[in-house]
Structure 1
């Protein structure tokens, strides 16, 4: 009934899950992750207890494969109908598909990821997701390494385009954690987006991720424009037209940005080109 990918970033700093299904609010049931520990997706007659159990096992140093074995061994429910994927802080991910999961059902796993699905259009769904995931791989420290959410979404989109859930579409979710990467640096939840009931949930999830990137991602220091010279003059003029004419330009910009929900992109003495584009658009 569901297809998902659990994975970590190339530098091991971020962990996350992307999932879609012909099921209402799949994001409420399937994904869980803990910063610097790992991520888990439980589906197909999902045992929601797998989420805290898997993360607890991973936090003690148990491998993803060991966590999956332990989950299945301790489950006194219909294991033959369960499906789960787990990835830890290091090593290969692991996936399990019960023998009685509705076909097509199966999964694949490798270094830092696990992909699984049941009641799918066919094995091409999982295959397409793996191809997309591997195609987006990057070396630790590269710019793409900070974009695990986008890599997860690319894999999910590939599975959706390959047929996805054979019953159709309804919901999708994206959940990513990394130490201190949440709003204001006070949370580890980097991305937490859900589309609970939509005709094209994966596409809608992509739209929401674009908005999340604009409003909540931190600016790239290499692209910042110093608030001096012509840039400062333009920003001051635009802010005055918007009703923010304070003498201190940083204060005026912060006042406007707070109203526009762009405060996460503020750097004193500079302006993010994305913020400038939004200011110009207003």
Structure 2
């Protein structure tokens, strides 16, 4: 009922899962990951206990292969399960039980595991793999995963249709203000085009929840400050700082107003969104 990709980034610093399904809120059941440990997708007749168990095994030093073997050994329903795992070193494994509904199967490679069931055919997982490998490895892992998921969706995806999708990526201290490791945690729970909607949310995630690079910072000048103040006041805020807080631009405008992100400036000028 689902297809997914579990992967580690090329630089070995991020782990994540992208998944889509004709199933309500697939992100609540399938993906899990811990920075510096690994990631898992559990699907088909999903055993959600696999998530905690697998990550515990990996945290204790087990490889993906050993962790998967332990999960399956203790589960009488193993033939109804589908699982993808990647460990801290990028070792990846996938399992498709013999009782999973056709088409069902998976692929693995260096740093990734791809799996799906009730798909239109093997072309879905093949498209996911091709897109993941073709994507620039220096891209943030979330963007590589999304490109792969999009390719699978365009190749047919879940043969029952579309309903939900999710993207979950972890990296050490990547969370908001560095207080946790969650780089991306996005879910589309019920939507006619969930993968497309997930792409829109990732774009917003990048705007609001990632810090500006040096290349994106535009130095503040008196004229630019006046322009931003006028925009803030037209928006009902008395100061630029109040407007920044109202619009959630804290990651994109310097606290001391020494610079503003060029993307925010484009939005102010009606050149972007």
Q: Name the TM-score class by shorter chain.
A: over 0.9
The offset of 1:264, in angstroms, is: 1.5
The Cα of 1:235 is off from its aligned counterpart by 2.9
Give the equivalent residue in structure 2 for 1:248: none
| Aligned partner of 1:265 among 252, 258, 267 | 252
In 2, are the aligned partners of 1:92 and 1:109 still within 8 Å (CA)? no
Partner Cα distance (2:59, 2:239) in 1: 45
5+ long unaligned stretches in structure 1? 245-250
Q: Does 1:124 align with 2:123?
A: yes
Q: 1:13 to 1:155 in 2, by over 3 A?
A: same
Give the conservation status (yes or no) of the 8 Å contact 2:90–2:112.
Answer: no
Cα offset for 1:70? 1.1
User: Is residue 12–residue 90 contact of structure 2 (8 Å, CA) maintained in 1?
Assistant: no
5+ residue gaps, structure 2, are: none
Quote the residue 2:228 is aligned against.
Answer: 238
Task: Answer yes or no: is the 8 Å Cα contact 1:121–1:166 preserved in 2.
Answer: yes
Equivalent pairs counted in the alignment come to: 266
TM-score, normalization: structure 1?
0.90
User: Alpha-carbon deviations, 1:139-194, whole Å to 9, x = none?
Assistant: xxx4x2xx111111110010011110111111111111111111121121111111
Distance 2:173 2:226 in 1: 33
Q: Is the 8 A contact 1:10 1:137 kept in 2?
A: no
- How far did residue 222 of structure 1 move? 2.3
CA distance in 1, matches of 2:115, 2:24: 19
Instruction: Give the Cα separation in 2 of the matches to 1:264 and 1:192.
Output: 17
Alpha-carbon displacement from aligned partner over 1:37-79 (angstroms, at most 9, x marks no partner): 1110000100001000111111112111111111111213x11
Over the aligned positions, Cα root-mean-square deviation in angstroms equals 1.7
> 1:180 aligns to what?
173
2:3 aligned partner: 3
Report what 1:47 is aligned to.
47
* Residue 280 (structure 1) shift: 2.5
